[in-house]
Structure 1
């Protein structure tokens, strides 16, 4: 780009004929999804048909979490972070310029920029704003130090988390004004934890009904066995990957290779709960996502022996290995005013003998995480961080909606 000291004639010419200015933001990855591992870079492009006097050109990168309740009557906006860069004149050369006298010649001019996403929300550094964007004076707001949440929602939903680039040109001289352009950036957070982790198990004690030559006497003690459902990676489910589930029956009396125990029905479902907080009130929005459902399987359980040579009946995991956690879900997150959590519900119909079917339901609080950009293969996993983020919720007026 070029600039020069303005002449009296050029100033009069610009005063008589207002300049036409076009401002836009171009990204190096215009259709990409950005993650916490990425740098966001691009150019601010200024196109002017006549000479213009420019004071500064800046670009701001910010993230925000908006919450709206009661049809928008209760609203809060928390600033997750904000950072800016002066593109023109460059700060290192600013002392060489008189901003009120820098004239930019007609043409197209580009100004490169780059930002990195912060490792965590910086909401605690700034106050919150009300629905009109004005600063709120509340000192009781509970600000959380958490990783950046993923982009979610829009202006029509109760929750909206967005990341925005905003370029600003301050025009000076005889004609003063401010020109702005903005561009939304889609952010997807990637976990760095290492899988697999230690599994978690839920158990149910049941009365077993093995094939016996005679019915069990009312006075006799009915055999008790246990059915166990285990999440092999602990409470973590990965977007785009199958649910790492193991199902076993232990302490089954008199079990042999010709046993008559089978899996008849199976269903796995995620229950998503979004909590939205604004002005001391809380609303809980729940949605359900079925991962897989199967019926009339008659799938015999497999007999094998554990480490201490005890017989175990297990379900073949290939039954659910072809169904994955939907990639369109957002990972588990929490901000000061919006949080999203999940529960996994597993339903098993076990058939004992020919006619007896017993239904078992297991429910696990889980964290949905992502190891790659949605739709792409999982990247090489990195070591787990040496801390664990617990989920904390503010107390408020709970309103259940479906």
Structure 2
């Protein structure tokens, strides 16, 4: 018996509210008995980390954590109209058996993606054999906490450590205890709808660093000693050149380098970075300054947790990198500022680095948007490294010198898939109709002194799930989940192709179609 799945759509990725449909094909050479054919839409988040070494040097066992973030099922066989009819027979396993004649059979299915994850503590507590361990059997423990958030995107790139997978699985259940079930898998990429963006504003988010160039002063002339204390009192100390003290002290350039983004700092998948790099002279010294090197990166910060073990992985994607440049910085008109620079002088002028160096380079389609799920969190930073050379002048007693300034600015990355207008309107109506807060009782005043007691505030933590049921039951579904059944998919919107890399050691792809697999 062979089984395969063919999807109707050819999207590079799916998103919330999308329908995913297709057919399950079952081919048998002889008449075969089956009890049911079930199709599942599943998403899983898995992590595996080694704890730090202990003082006793005992071999540490890997800590594993597993979350079923998406789980929907549909039985495509037997159809409801033939259940209970003649032709079924009993079996040793106690399941009802149906006979499939020889040939090829097809069964359609369809699912709709929800908004939020559906991490079920009951399903996650079941031990599952890990594929990460190879020939070693590693069992998953019940996770400590769960987070209800928007479904995270597909995440790869951490083989044997962390991954988020989505797939459609078909299982042909056999009634006999001596015949294994047949399974077929079709993995696919998922990228969530972005949250509603704030209205545009003129506010800017920025990161700034200042730098003071060095100045090499000439040696101080020797002071001619005075013969009389009175002469020193009235005439001052004379130097060997006959001049008196109090001459103007030359100053070296004092600059600040900024990276600026519209506030809030949001980047969009598969689109260029709208960043601005600005060099500001804080004391009016703007001559003979050039840009020698420039590098712009997107830094991904992935926080991975497996039970009580945590790790932070950092990786970067270079958008632009060039050295050996000699581009003069063109400073604009000087502007007097009230904030006087530390080395004196209150005149500022700006020179903006040409954004055409990186404005034609979009974010790669393998970068997932920012997300948070039960055991994996992804955030981002923009990293800029700017090299500036000051050639110096004889009047400032400065030699040519070069400095490199590093800037980091936290950002969010959105998927670029905007929510449907119907959903945004429904959400705004729901927020406008929210019930008012209950009125508080006035507190009676008292002339007696009141002793103030400081109560420490506990940090907000994720919801903990234990074996006992909570006293108030489960939380109601979010408004997005309630609307997901009525709002149609986000059609007519051009989607950027989110295509994470696939390695040759992919366990889900290599587990095959119609073969036994450790993914349950």
TM-score range, shorter chain: 0.7 to 0.9
2:76 pairs, out of 77, 87, 90, with 87
In structure 2, stretches of 5+ residues that fail to align are 51-59, 90-97, 131-138, 216-246, 338-347, 393-399, 432-459, 463-520
Look up the match of 2:290. Answer: 262
Report what 1:73 is aligned to. Answer: 62
Following superposition, the deviation at residue 201 of structure 1 comes to: 1.0
How much has 1:60 moved relative to structure 2?
1.1
User: Are 2:206 and 2:409, in contact at CA under 8 Å, matched by a contact in 1?
Assistant: no
Change (3 A) 1:206 1:160: closer
Report the structure number with the largest CA radius of gyration. 2
The Cα shift of 1:67 comes to 0.7
Residue 171 of structure 1 deviates from its aligned partner by 4.1
CA contact 1:89–1:97 (8 Å) conserved in 2: no
TM-score under structure 2 length normalisation: 0.58
Task: Tell me if 1:163 matches 2:151.
Answer: no
**Cα distance in structure 1, aligned partners of 2:187 and 2:14:** 11
Tell me the distance in 1 between the aligned counterparts of 2:150 and 2:336.
Answer: 44
User: Does the C-alpha gap of structure 1 residues 359 and 56 become closer, same or farther in structure 2, counting only changes over 3 Å?
Assistant: same
Distance, in Å, in 2 between the alignment partners of 1:244 and 1:124 is: 40
What CA distance in whole angstroms lies between the structure 2 residues aligned with 1:80 and 1:249? 46
Q: What is the TM-score of this pair, normalised by structure 1?
A: 0.73
Cα gap change, 1:90/1:272 in structure 2, threshold over 3 Å: closer, same or farther?
same
Deviation at 1:111? 0.8
Q: Root-mean-square deviation (CA), in Å? A: 4.0
Cα 1:332–1:173, aligned 2, differ >3 Å: closer, same or farther? closer
Pick aligned residue for 1:100 from 88, 95, 115: 88
Corresponding position: 1:333 with 2:371: yes
Distance 1:297 1:130, change over 3 A: farther
Look up the match of 1:244.
274
The 1:356–1:95 alpha-carbon spacing in structure 2 relative to 1, beyond 3 Å, is same
Asked if residue 295 in structure 1 is aligned to residue 323 in structure 2, the reply is yes
Partner of 2:454: none
Contact 2:273 2:359 in 1 (8 A): yes
Report if the CA contact (8 A) 1:27-1:41 is conserved: yes
Structure-to-structure mapping, 1:149-160, within 5 angstroms: 149-153=152-156, 156-160=159-163
| Alignment partners' CA distance in 2, 1:66 and 1:335 | 11
1:108-147 equivalences in 2 (<5 Å): 108-126=104-122, 127-130=124-127, 132=129, 136-137=141-142, 141-147=144-150
Query: C-alpha distance in 2, partners of 1:326/1:393?
Result: 34
Higher strand share: 1
Match of 2:209 among 204, 210, 218: 204
**Alpha-carbon distance between aligned partners in 2 of 1:230 and 1:190, rounded to the nearest angstrom:** 26
Deviation readout 1:113-166 (Å, 9 max, x if unpaired): 11122211111554345563667456xx12111222222238942012111222
* Matches for 1:181-330 after TM superposition, within 5 Å: 181-191=184-194, 193-194=196-197, 198-207=203-212, 224-232=254-262, 234-250=264-280, 252-254=282-284, 259-304=287-332, 311-330=349-368
TM-aligned CA distance change 1:241 to 1:31, over 3 Å: closer
Pair 1:40-2:20 in alignment: yes
Higher relative contact order (CA 8 A, sep 6+): 2
Whether the aligned pair in 2 keeps the contact of 1:100 and 1:173 (CA below 8 Å) is no
Q: Secondary structure at the match of 2:320?
A: strand
Unpaired stretches in structure 1, ≥5 consecutive residues: 1-20, 211-216, 373-378, 395-402
Does the residue aligned with 2:88 lie in a helix, a strand or coil?
A: helix
Q: Which residue number corresponds to residue 359 of structure 1? A: 404
